[in-house]
Amino acid sequence: MIALACQIVKLRDRVRIWKQTALTLENEAKSARADAVARTEADRKRIAGLTEELRLERETCTETADLLNRESEKVRGLSVQAQDQRSEIERLRDEAAKYKTERVHFYQREGIEAKKRMDVEEERDALRAEVAALQERLRASITRGDFAQMEVAALKSQNPKQHPVKVGEWVRRLVPSPACDVGTVAKVVHVDDDTSEIEYDVKRIDGQHGVWFAKNCEPCDPPATHDTPAGKESAESALETEPVTDEIKVGDVVEVFQKTGTCTFETDVGTRGTVLQMEDSCVDTAPLEGYLSPKGNHVALCDVRKVTT
């Protein structure tokens, strides 16, 4: 009996140990399952984040590829234009050489008077070529974007006045803005020099008001009007150029006699052209043989007058 009792006790101890072991294994299994679930959720979030990053990278690559394709198309277009221009230049050179040869033969047959005419025409052609080269340099400068700096340097060399100016004096714009171009002039109606940068309240010729920083403009002379000596001189000069009082229309020859509009440059004054079209307050012109043309062949209607050549 004692032996049986001992065996029962041992069995009970084993059962208790098995239960504890089973409970421990069950707890470990639950913990392992919880860890696995947590890791799975973290991995899911990480995968989702990587997927979103990949999508954004693909969109960025697509936009970059589209931009490169557009730029490549532009470059190809410019290359074709440059090739066409080179071909046209070569053709014109060949024609000029052919014409000059024919003209020399003609003058050889005509004699000394024809030779004098040839010298005059050669000088005329050289001047025209020089003008064309200057116009081409100007167009190239505008394309490169350094035209504004050229205008600033030219204006500075012509104007010794300094800031600050007084109320009633005039300033010229050196830096373009959405409201006005380089070269736009305005009258100062108020000066604020109490701050670190001088500011001017200005009124432009077209009646618009604005605020200009002194660093973006420079002092200048007032624009010519009929009430000033410069304006009277301009009016007298207009009479000498045989102005025509008829209304300007397409096909007329016009001369730029003043600079008041925002699309007219100071250097346009004195140039001429043939009217191609008229839009609102502006005129598009075609070059006129023997005369300099306005920059871009585009000026304000109020700044031109009809003339006879």
**Structural domain count, the chain:** 3
Helix axes 112-144, 147-158, angle to 10 degrees: 110
Count CB atoms within 10 A of the CB of residue 253: 18
Domain boundary among 166, 186, 220: 220
Is residue 140 situated within a structural domain? yes
Is residue 197 situated within a structural domain? yes
Question: pLDDT by residue (tens digit) across 186-223?
Answer: 999 999 887 778 899 999 887 788 889 898 899 988 87
Domain boundary among 198, 220, 242: 220
Q: Examine the domain organization and report whether 122 and 153 are in the same domain.
A: no
Domain span at 286? 229-306
Is residue 130 situated within a structural domain? yes
Question: pLDDT by residue (tens digit) across 35-76?
Answer: 878 888 888 888 888 888 888 888 888 888 888 888 888 888
Cα-flanking dihedrals φ and ψ of residue 63, to 5°? -65, -40
Distance CA 3, CA 86 (A): 120
Residues 136 and 142: beta-carbon distance below 8 Å = no
Domain boundary among 200, 220, 240: 220
Q: Examine the domain organization and report whether 140 and 154 are in the same domain.
A: no
Which three-class secondary structure state does DSSP give residue 25?
Answer: helix
Helix axes 2-110, 112-144, angle to 10 degrees: 160
Question: DSSP strand E in 138-252: where?
Answer: 170-173, 185-192, 199-204, 209-213, 217-220
Is residue 37 situated within a structural domain? no
Q: Which of 219, 220, 203 is nearest to 211 (CA)?
A: 203
User: pLDDT below 50 — which residues of the chain?
Assistant: 226-228, 231-232, 234-245
User: Which residue bears the tokens 């618009």?
Assistant: 208
Asked if the peptide bond before residue 164 counts as cis, ω within 30 degrees of 0, the response is yes
Q: Examine the domain organization and report whether 275 and 207 are in the same domain.
A: no
pLDDT of residue 226: 42
CATH of residue 244's domain is 2.30.30.30
**59 token code pair:** 């969109």
Is residue 86 situated within a structural domain? no
pLDDT of residue 242: 40
Q: Concatenated DSSP letters for 282-301? A: EEEEE--TTSPPPGGGEEEG
Q: Examine the domain organization and report whether 118 and 162 are in the same domain.
A: no
pTM, two decimals, is 0.27
Q: Examine the domain organization and report whether 296 and 248 are in the same domain.
A: yes
**142 token code pair:** 């505008």
